[in-house]
Amino acid sequence: ESLGLLDKVVKAPSVMKTEPLGLLDTYGRTWAIYRTYTELLGLTDTVIATRLLVKVLTELLGLSDIVKKDTSKMLAENLGLLDVYGRTWSIYRTYDELLGLADSIQKDIALHPLVEPLGLLDSVAKSPSITRGELLGLKDSMVKGTSVIKGEALGLTDTIVKEPGKQLSETLGLLDTVVKSASIIKVESLGLEDRVSKHISLHALTEVLGLLDSISYVKNPTILAKLIRKLIQVEDIGGGQD
């Protein structure tokens, strides 16, 4: 169940890079066998590595197309523009909650719903089912399946490893490494950081959120001294008049 900025649980033998950006709320309940063609636009960087008999390396950067064929129950919550391509065969339910302007055309004749959210989300759904739509909040997604997920975050990271032992490494595409040893690891990472600092001093209070919105509060001794002099002068003038 995702709340906020896209909490996703995916269990599948694959490597996936996703980058969700935007606000999308979809809520729906269907019980049918159908095909779903979803195309989401956004920036997603996610690396998921798994070790199976079949090794799939998928890298989704920029725009992404999703083609899904399954019988399923899904709870999805997407924030931003998301490009994902995947093919699954499972049984699950889909709960979609859409927030915003939505143009929907629904025909309960065919077994194949075609959904394509673009811009203000135009959706066409065709299925013999009972659909309950509620446009509230963002999008909650819950995917339940049997799989193994290995997550790998990409960023600016410098790593220094010093160890007396042997290393067993296996590199697959985007570098999945398995190290087994008794060692001392020193990690130095560089990347984007959200930081909120508050100090009661002459230093600036800086709050960095998202794309670096900063609010600075500085106590300047010079300006403070000038204000004190002006206040003393005003009091002297007021006292002399009295």
pLDDT score for 206? 47
Alpha carbon distance 206, 212 (integer Å): 10
Q: What type of residue is 222? A: T
Give residue-wise pLDDT tens across range 167-210: 565 545 555 555 565 656 565 555 555 565 565 555 444 444 44
E-strand ranges in 163-212 read 184-189, 195-196, 207-208
Give residue-wise pLDDT tens across range 211-234: 555 555 566 778 778 888 888 888
Give residue-wise pLDDT tens across range 85-133: 666 666 666 666 656 665 666 666 555 555 554 555 455 556 566 656 5
Give residue-wise pLDDT tens across range 55-96: 556 555 556 566 666 666 666 665 566 566 666 666 666 666
CB 143, CB 66: distance < 8 Å: no
CB 94, CB 30: distance < 8 Å: yes
pLDDT score for 228? 85
Alpha carbon distance 197, 42 (integer Å): 31
pLDDT score for 126? 64
Give residue-wise pLDDT tens across range 146-176: 666 665 655 555 666 566 666 565 545 555 5
Alpha carbon distance 98, 79 (integer Å): 11
pLDDT score for 230? 85
Alpha carbon distance 125, 131 (integer Å): 10
Domain boundaries, the chain: 1-154, 156-189, 195-241
